[in-house]
Every structure is written in structure tokens, then in C-alpha cells.
Chains A and B, each alone.
Chain A
């Protein structure tokens, strides 16, 4: 069965650079969520989209923005990167808000 696709899988950036993470949800899933997982921590919710509109916002820094496109894929844009942004970034999708969420393999971002 098709799963959530994330790209790139690994990304190395320097401080103050920008990064763009991409997420392609499971076909027919219209809801996308972004989570950040720091080393030794549980995933923290950043932001979600339903039918291309932002639906919920969590602990997402102002330096980050995201959107969902007409084909339901989503991009997380991160600017002025800081060392503390180094983490695993997961995208998850669900059939509708509140349904089971399925996670992609994640993007490991390292900021040096």
C-alpha cells in the first residue's frame, strides 16, 4: 500500500540558511500534519492542513511556514535556521481530521 513520502530524507544546512521539506500524503488523504522530534524527545505537533487550509497550529516558530497545495502535498519552509532546529521532521496524513494518522519516514535535518 502507498505510504506517506517525504523528501529529502536527510538534509544538512548551516546556521541562518533556509530549508524546504516536502510531504506527499497517502492517496485520498486530505489532511496533513507536521511534527518535530528532537533527540530523545517525543514528537511535537507543528502545524496541520485540511483541504489546503491551515487547520491547527502548534509550537511552530515564526521562522517556519507551511502550506498545502492543490494536489494535497505539503511543504514546510524553514528560514534563519538555528542549531536547535536539528531534529527529525515527520509528516503524517489522515483520511479526515481526527482519523488515524500515518507517518512518513521523516526528514533528518542537521544544522551546523
Chain B
């Protein structure tokens, strides 16, 4: 079982739709949580860190539920430019390197 599990996708949604991605992690000692996006054959780009209180950045909202070891990302009013693979990323326990989920592919359709 992978340390970080994500919805397999792919998600194909029309422009303007709201889409939610979910992720679970297995190491209860994990301290840091992030969402990255990765476009084809390019580097992962940090989308947002995820805090226990939840956080919002424009159209993007991230939530963390430590009790359930569950992280979510909500994208409102989807744009064509949101099409990418979304990676749920965790720093497990006392480690400092990133552990990636397998990613969820999103395609926003015109």
C-alpha cells in the first residue's frame, strides 16, 4: 500500500465546474501537507500548503483532517488552464523529503 493514496481519476469537467480531489496518508506522524500540480513532462509546482485550519487561495481550497488522515482540494470555477495532474504530497514523520501520491489527472473541457 502506498503511503499516500489519491483518487485515480481522470476527471474530465466542463469549464466553470467545481471539482474535488481526495487523498489519504498512512503515517499518522506526518507533519506537512501540500498540493502540487504537474503539467506533462514538466516539474511539479507548489499549488498550496495544507494547514489544519484549512486554507483558501482564490479558487482553490484545501482541507486537512488529521483524525481521518485525509486531505482534500477543491477547485471552483474551473479554467482550461487548470488542466494538469494534481499531486497530493506529504512529509511523513520526522523525514524531510516529500512523499508523493500517484496524482489525479484533471482535464477541463471548453
Contacts and interface: CB of A to CB of B under 8 A. Distances in A.
Contact of B98 (A33, A55, A104, A106): A33
B42 interface: yes
Nearest to B87: A42
Interface residues of B, number: 21
A99 B90 CA distance: 12
A93 B90 CA distance: 16
A103 B101 CA distance: 16
A64 interface: no
Contacts of B80: none
Contact of B97 (A58, A100, A105, A106): A58
Interface in B77-110: 87, 91, 95-103
Interface in A37-81: 42-45, 48, 50, 55-56, 58
B63 to A, nearest CB: 18
A106 B96 contact: no
Interface stretch (B7-15, B18-26, B43-51, B54-62): B43-51
Nearest to B45: A103
A103 B100 contact: no
B44 A90 contact: yes
Main secondary structure, interface of A, reads strand
A33 B97 contact: yes
B31 interface: yes
A92 B96 CA distance: 12
B45 A43 contact: no
Contacts of A21: none
Contacts of B41: 88, 108
Interface of B: 31-32, 34, 41-46, 49, 87, 91, 95-103
